A = this chain, B = another copy of it.
């Protein structure tokens, strides 16, 4: 029940090095508030472990020149997986999330056991081809659409995928003997932003993923919050129109029905001669192009989801009072049109002290961000483990 609060500062110092290198020991001491001796001790260990290296010396106004420390991004590698209904994406990245190998493979619906085998083969194949010794791969992060039990590493609820109620974590840890972290796609993206992206500078932020559906991840006190049962941040089913459309979840007026690309499609389909009850994943590109040509229906469609996105974000801001709300995923393609609306709606709906210092950002869209986030989940776990015991090499 009660935990052991050892070594939390080690991780903090390593994170300072990671995010601000090149940096000297004394700078670290100053910004962390820890004693020079403490920092020196940590750094000695990091050097021995190989995650940090001394790289030249810096300048000083007077006195001895500082020895600059750098984070050694390629001292270890991790694997990121993103499972989808019909495919898997895989990346191998260094500790800074730089991709050194990537692939995307179709995934049949052949039952859990054979799917798992296939994933294992994809991983082994990737590792072999990139030419990194397996021993330097230190963790595996997996993103899954749907609800995940992070502790157990089990998929709890997901749109038609064969892997439900299998312990991905257990199976893969048995097979590869490295720690495996499974979480939903929005949470891994949030961790990605926390480590490598816009979230780096915020202690409290909320990541909102908007594409076909809406998901999210909550970071408070610099840590991903999973709530009581691991499902915190399921923003897609917040209610924005209590008397509105029915959602497949059984509820009515879910945010996902009004602010997602599904909603955009519904609002614009008839203008492009499509069935409003269907869906096309590339709807946003089509609509943005039309809006750029000045088509009213397109602009109205974008205003429509922009308005509802603003409404939901306003509620999130009131509830969490974060430093920042980061809106990511495909929606970013329409940033130019949608972002101003969201900003206006949030400004009119939240009290001044709450939004005074709030940052509202729409992130660049990058197809790879979610998989890299999955890798990030692995990196986060690895760095935690690394800073939790003094003597430990992963050779």
Contacts and interface: CB of A to CB of B under 8 A. Distances in A.
A392 to B, nearest CB: 20
Contacts of A338: none
Q: What is the total number of copies of this protein in its complex?
A: 2
A227 interface: yes
A13 B9 CA distance: 23
A239 B349 contact: yes
A338 B323 CA distance: 35
A279 B383 CA distance: 57
A56 interface: no
A31 interface: yes
Nearest to A258: B242
Residue of A203, A236, A238, A352 most packed against chain B (CB within 10 A): A238
A351 B307 contact: no
Given A228-B321, A239-B311, A250 B348 contact: yes
B32 A2 contact: yes
Contacts of A238: 314-315, 318-319
Contacts of A249: 349-351
Contacts of A26: none
B322 A231 contact: no
B308 A353 contact: no
A319 B321 contact: no
A238 B255 CA distance: 13
Nearest to A12: B2
Interface residues of A, number: 67
Contacts of A157: 351-353
Scoring A157, A232, A354, A357 by chain B CB atoms within 10 A of each residue's CB, the highest score goes to A354
Given A34-B2, A251-B314, A308 B242 contact: yes
A116 interface: no
A266 interface: no
Contacts of A1: 12, 31-33
Residue of A239, A241, A254 with highest tally of chain B CB at under 10 A: A239
A269 interface: no
A236 B321 CA distance: 13
The 6 A-B residue pairs whose C-beta atoms are closest, nearest first, are A227-B321, A251-B349, A238-B315, A5-B5, A228-B323, A232-B321
27 contacts: A1-B33, A5-B5, A5-B8, A5-B9, A147-B351, A157-B352, A202-B228, A220-B225, A226-B321, A227-B322, A228-B321, A228-B357, A229-B356, A230-B321, A231-B354, A233-B319, A234-B319, A238-B315, A238-B318, A238-B319, A239-B349, A242-B308, A249-B350, A250-B348, A252-B348, A319-B319, A319-B320
